Amino acid sequence: MESMMKKHTQCKLRKGNTVQVSWIPTEFAVEGAYVALKPRGESVADDGWLVEAVWTTMASDDVTERSRDFKSQREASDRPRDGGRQKLKL
């Protein structure tokens, strides 16, 4: 059953001077390969990303769950400590 489980692999990607770390489907996670990234909600893929490094592989469901956990943590920690009130300097 595990062979049918979808997996994603964390990779270092480069396009020109831009570097990012992304989870991509494991079948595309090959060092030296070029991949296209399609941001959520977008209809057009951004191609030409070089896979520079390949790291951890996890079940796709686990990657999605951890991404949601991280997003929730960031939303909670990035809130202004003053309750959203802006202070003006004169």
Per-residue pLDDT, 84? 57
- Over the chain (90 residues), the average pLDDT of each successive run of 10 is 78 96 95 92 92 95 75 64 58
Per-residue pLDDT, 1? 46
> pTM of the prediction?
0.69
Per-residue pLDDT, 75? 67
- Which one, of 60, 55, 38, lies nearest residue 47 by Cα? 38
Nearest-angstrom CA–CA distance, 72 and 70 = 5
Per-residue pLDDT, 4? 72
Helix, strand or coil, per DSSP, at residue 1:
coil
Per-residue pLDDT, 58? 94
Amino acid at 29: A
Per-residue pLDDT, 74? 59
- Residue 86 in tokens: 């802006």
Task: Give the number of other CB atoms < 10 A from CB of residue 75.
Answer: 9
